[in-house]
Each structure stands twice: as C-alpha cells, then as structure tokens.
Structure 1
Amino acid sequence: MKYDRQYYLLTEDSQSAPYMLSKSEKSDDGLLKLLSMRSIKRKVLGPGYVHITMGDDGNFKPCDYHEVLPAGLVSEKFKNILDSFQLPGVDFYPAYIENRGNIWKEHYLIHIWQNHRALHPKRSVYDGTYEDDRFILEKMSLNEEVLNKVPLHERLVFRLNEDPQYLYHESVVVALKAAGLTGVNFLNIQNWGPGSAFSTEEEEDDFYNNL
C-alpha cells in the first residue's frame, strides 16, 4: 500500500466550489474526446469555451483550478507548474471562460492520457465486476506490482485505466501547494470515497508531516 500515501486527487475548495462550470457548444468538437486515453492533438483545431451553469455569476472570478469534466480547467500559472515536470501524456488546450460579456483567456482544459491499469483488484472496493471494468469505484488502493515497473516520471500524473480518476504524485502536489494556487484542494487517495468533497485541515497537516 506504499503508493496509496503518495497519490492525490484534485478537488475544488471554498472559492471554486460555489460555481459549476462546463464546456459550451462553442467549444471545438475535438474537445469532446478529453476522456480518450491517447493523444487528441490532431482532433482539436480550436479553443474551448466554458460558461457558468450554476452559482452566482455576478460574483464570479476565475480561480487557478475549476472542476470542469473530465480532468479540470486550469490557469496559466497552474499549467506552467505542470509543464516544469515535462509530463508525458498530459496536454493542455486553450479555453476561454465567458460570463456576462467578460472573457478570461489564459486558461486550459487538461487532457491526461497517460494511463496505467493500477488499481489493486483485492484491496480496492468496487460495486460490480473488476475484470471487465463494469463497476462503480468506492475505495481505491494502488497495485505495487504494476507501479514498481513504471518509471517515476511516467506516473507523476496519470489516469487510472480502469476508471476516470486522475492521480497526482506527492512531488507534483508539493510544487502546486507552494505556488499558492486558488480554487484547489488535494485529497489523498486513502481518504477518497463517494461523497468525499474536499480535504480536511487534518489531512493538510498530515501531508507536510509525512514528507
């Protein structure tokens, strides 16, 4: 279970959570492929457009992270931090946030297509059948036998092949935390489960204590 301590998911915080953002019909059709587990660079020919679908849009100000499906909408600042790791299988596509006649540029939809079939089939808890990926994941645990064979730089940020969950290694999380980004919390996968919305202050303290 050594890898369970090392990986985190991104969640929204109190600044970003009051708003629900989603891609609008103006977005390039290629961006419908953001769930793909291979590159879609040849399919995306234009930018994405994001609008507010829930929340008080009169008070809206963009954060560095918004939970736009499937893998998030991030600012230029956020993107630059990830770029510094030269992550394989992680691409960014320009997206404009539109609200009440205002347009915010320098934001990006993330496409994480680096993927590993890395769930531990016995320690993870799921409702359904693991073998054919027909299940609802309820608790995740990572498979050491799989990840031991993957060089660290190829698993710093990746998608679970079995389920659309996007995992960030603690070394990347340290850099993101140090940047003082807005709109984002980090949830250790040991504490993840249906209904887990955000990390607690205790988990924040544990994160630094365990480094």
Structure 2
Amino acid sequence: MTNYSNYDDEYYLLYSDEHSNMIDLDEDILSNNKDGGTFAIPGELIQDGYVYPLILDKPYKNDEIADFHELPRTFSYRVIKDVALRHTMPGVQWMPAYIHYKGKRYNDHVVMHLFNKISCMDEEKSVFKRVSEFTTIIYKIVLSKEKLDNIPLEDRLIFRLEEKKSLIFMHQIIVDEIMQHNPVGIRFVKVKDWGISEAFG
C-alpha cells in the first residue's frame, strides 16, 4: 500500500469535464497583437493592454458558456476572481480574455499563464517510466513532503509538475475558492486518487 504524504490530500490536479468545449485563438485579431475594446475585469489584471481573443465552437448547453476551457486554459472571471485578486503567486499570470460565440462577445474571462514549475514528485513512492530525456509516463503520483516543506505555501498554491509539465496542481485553498462558485466545466482530482486514466476521464 502506498505511503502517501499529507500533501497528497491537500493538492488536486486540474482538468476540464464533459461540459467544457475546446476554444481557439482568433488568429485574425491575434495578428494585431493588441485589442483595445471595453473589458469587464479590473485593470490590475490587464498586462500591457493585451486581451486574448477566443472563439468558442459551441456551448455546453443552449447558449450557456462553461466556466473552464482548456488550451488555452480559460476561466470565467466569476469563478477565478477570488484566487486572482487575493493571492500573489510567483509564476502565475491571469490574462484578460473574451470569447466570441454567435456574433456575441463575452468579456468576462481570464487565461491562466503558468510558469511556476516545481520538482516535487517522490520518485521512490511514485510509479513512472522515463521513455526519454524529455518524456516521462506517470502512472501514480506521490508528492515529496521533504521538497514541499521547504517551499512557502504562497509559492506553491498553483504549479506545474517539473517532472511532467502538462500536470497542473492546485492547493485545497485554491480549489475551495473556485468551487464555492459552483463552476461548470471544471474537474479536480485529488493527488491521492489520481491515476493515468484520469487524463482521459
């Protein structure tokens, strides 16, 4: 039986669910680099005047747009505002975005840029296979208590796993702040319950 640390109870991996749809960058507007339109999110989140223009293929039902989409990872502002405004986290950047759908423009969205990478997989307890220098297949994750104990909490509330950068981890504090808004389209899996099949769930 795997000997988990307390961190495997405290951290969750971020995924979309069946209500989320893929979104695309609007390449025509993107080529202009900047888009100066009205925007509904506080100015402190706007960096260099840049706003992400996105296109949604279809909503999750009727004309309702989900609160989370992948690639780029986009949140509705209503579910992420507490996180974005309450916490100053290194390597986590919130970029204003809007979504085009059926001729309408929905201004209240944010794209998450995540540069915070932490090497904290307990290699003795995790189950993984290194295929090459750049590719690692992870079957079961156990986080290293020793490594995470040495990092201040505010510096590890949200991070990518250095050993597998496609995996995004959020602390219970962040998950609770998001989930209190009853978001649609987002799914969190506790590290302790995670398996490789979750990536396809």
Regarding TM over 0.5, the answer is: yes
Instruction: Report the number of matched residues.
Output: 182
What does residue 40 of structure 1 align with?
none
Q: Which ranges in structure 1 are unaligned for 5 or more consecutive residues? A: 31-42, 200-211
Residue 12 (structure 2) pairs with residue 8 (structure 1) = yes
Residue 80 (structure 2) pairs with residue 74 (structure 1) = no
User: How far 1:44 sits from its partner (Å)?
Assistant: 7.0
Distance 1:101 1:58, change over 3 A: farther
Q: Percent identity?
A: 27
User: How far 1:48 sits from its partner (Å)?
Assistant: 1.8
CA distance, structure 2, for counterparts of residue 141 and residue 104 of structure 1: 39
Q: Any idea what SS the aligned residue of 1:195 has?
A: helix
User: How far 1:20 sits from its partner (Å)?
Assistant: 2.1
- The one-letter code matched in structure 2 to 1:161 is E
What does residue 26 of structure 2 align with?
24
User: How far 1:139 sits from its partner (Å)?
Assistant: 2.1
Scaled by the length of structure 1, what TM-score is found? 0.73
CA distance, structure 2, for counterparts of residue 28 and residue 162 of structure 1: 33
What does residue 154 of structure 2 align with?
153
- Aligned CA-pair RMSD: 2.9
CA distance, structure 2, for counterparts of residue 58 and residue 175 of structure 1: 25
Runs (4+) of structure 1 moved beyond 4 Å?
Answer: 55-58
What does residue 52 of structure 1 align with?
56
What does residue 44 of structure 2 align with?
none
Give a deviation string over 1:134-158, Cα, whole Å, max 9, x none: 3122222211121010011111111
The equivalent position to 2:98 in structure 1, one of 93, 96, 99, is 96
| Greater shift in the superposed pair: 76-85 or 43-52 | 43-52
